[in-house]
Structure 1
Amino acid sequence: METAPLNNEVAETDEVGAAYWINTEDKVRLRVGVWCDERAVRGTILLFTGRTEFVEKYGRTLPGFLEQGFAIISIDWRGQGLSDRVASDAHLGHVHHFSDYQKDVAAMIDAARSLNLPKPWYLFGHSMGANIGLRSLIDGIPVVASAFTAPMWSITVPSFLEPVARPLSRLAVMVGLGEMYTKSQKGRSYAIHKPFESNSITNDRPMYEFFIRQATLFPEAHIGAPSMRWLYEGLTECDRLSKLRSPEVPCTAFVGVDDVTVGRKAIEDRMSSWRDGAFTIVDDAKHDPLCDRPNISKKIIQDVCAFFRQHS
């Protein structure tokens, strides 16, 4: 695999990693980041990032997993990070079909095999990455356990738009407006667009300032609001997944008590019937509990690693 750039200044980590370009079956070039050294005696975590995210975003949190004995491979999904864009506007959060993300997963698995990353393998997904991850688990991705934060198994939209979100986004796609932005922030990074006091991601100001620095130093990796097509595809995939049984893979899930981005009921409904499943509502946390206050982040990392060890 060809070496790709990995920006440690943006990641703000001393951990030595590597990045590679990989290609999907439909000829989309993606970037994966890999951290693996002599500490990786417990296996490898496949890190499925959320919408807008990129591998450097987890620079402050990945050391916690490495110290617990796990290697990590992360991915920039198509349309974000340094991976190929799939829309004419490079700053638009866009995908043609949610099933396209499974082509990215297949390429990531091929890369993990080529790199001979230590087994067993585990899955960790955040938000949209948890939506992609659930589909991957159902399709038989070779992992022995999984963990999700703020899993996007339903999408929260303003109450006055809820009845029309699906038909409106579907109509936009049908009339050729699928690449229209859904939000007024358009192509601007959320952290730059939204002040800390009103952000929905984290209660930790230093972490939010970290996100702002990343957006400033690494604008080429950032995208803004999602497209109407992404919204329609996301809503449709959430509906499809809701009709499917949970896979026979142990899972632990976390959602912040103040999360207003994903629907908690869909998470509670699924986790209540997931065999070998555990569910935690994280007090004083917003949409990204792994990147919230240090005590919260540290506890989640410890709990996830303990869960993975339990099911190794």
Structure 2
Amino acid sequence: MDTDDGRDDVVRFHERLGLPGIIDVHTHFMPEQVLRKVWAYFDSAGPLTGMEWPIAYRHDEDERLALLRSFGVLRFTSMLYPHKAGMAAWLNGWAAGFAARVPDCLHTATFFPEEGAGKYVAEAVDAGARVFKSHVQVGAYDPNDPLLDPVWGLLAEAGIPVVTHCGSGPAPGRFTGPGPVGGLLARHPRLRLVVAHMGMPEYAEFLALAETYREVRLDTTMAFTDFTEELTPFPAAERGRLAALGDRILLGTDFPNIPYPYAHQLHALERLGLGDDWLRAVCHDNAKALFDC
């Protein structure tokens, strides 16, 4: 394993906080052929990124797993998502197998607005799915599509969190932004929606949704880092709201698809100056309570 991958830096971070490790709710594991296509998209600076985006942890699956464990990541996810109809059920089958052979991964599943979505989501729940991923930007779908009505209703009733890329960063989509998600939450106020990337760049608007709906949470994925602060900085005026919602902010990183060392995400949170109790909650306690893990 490459000694420059930052293991010691990550371990020092959580040991200083007195934590047994950290919980990362936004990591990507998916079928190898799909992941390679995702990496190729980043390499080509595709339209949803439009910039150079070197993958920091471009390793095979076993090495990526070993890295997370060496960092002290106690639980993580296999965020995967379809970009078209006909993919989700197949991805869910792969994710179920992955979770079965990687017990420290929270069993992840996904969906797309299509006929039968309610059925395969129910099957994934019955198979033990603990968290779902919805990628409104890549999927280019309205979260209020009637084909998803049975999906949202089932997940709200079951209390299963859904990590949702619904902000308009790094590039806006037809259905991104707080409006569509606000409409969804008005219909399903008990939905445990985790807004990925802190909702960047609409930080304030998504914080407002979390203030309105008790079950809304936000993950830190790529937020506050040097890379993101150059493009869509988090408003300093909103730090008080960030502190007040400290029980509903969850650590996410986007590992392995990040253009900087894993530890940088942790140090970016630390330099917000919101205190060690806030860091302990964000990096461990909130996810532990949400997933009972």
Q: TM-score, normalised by structure 2?
A: 0.37
Which is helix-richer, 1 or 2? 2
Q: TM-score, normalised by structure 1?
A: 0.35
